[in-house]
Amino acid sequence: MPKLIVVSRTGIESTVEGEVGLSVMEVIRQNGFDELLAVCGGCCSCASCHVVMDAAQMEKLPAMSKDEDELLDSSSNREANSRLSCQLIFNDLLDGLRVTIAKED
């Protein structure tokens, strides 16, 4: 099973296993990271599953949709490597992906 590296808001880094086909948001939540709110449940209608990607791994990710980009614009904590974790489907190619849970708006 591929692994996801999750850095909490307090800087604690954990490596978890993720089921292929789930969103990165679902993998994070299923592994007990309750600080990732994911209020809309993964419908791309809020930005509460905001994560900051490791810059070196951005090329592994699919292009950002217009909706995702607009939602991230609503965050005062947006960074160049910001993504909504609900929009990233976890797969074997993302094994070792490192994400940091963004500061809460």
Instruction: Answer yes or no: are the C-beta atoms of 50 and 94 closer than 8 Å.
Output: no
Which run of H or of E encompasses 17?
A: strand 13-17
CATH architecture, range 3-101: Roll (3.10)
The full set of domain ranges for the chain reads 3-101
What are the start-end ranges of the E strands in the chain?
A: 3-7, 13-17, 50-53, 82-84, 97-101
Whole-structure pTM value: 0.95
- Going residue by residue through the chain (105 aa), what tens digit of pLDDT does each one get? 999 999 999 999 999 999 999 999 999 999 999 999 999 999 999 999 999 999 999 999 999 999 999 999 999 999 999 999 999 999 999 999 999 999 998
Residue found under tokens 């709110």: 37
Q: Which neighbouring-strand residues pair with 3?
A: 17
Output the pLDDT for position 102: 98
Distances (CA, A) of 9 to 28, 34, 51, 65: 13, 11, 10, 25
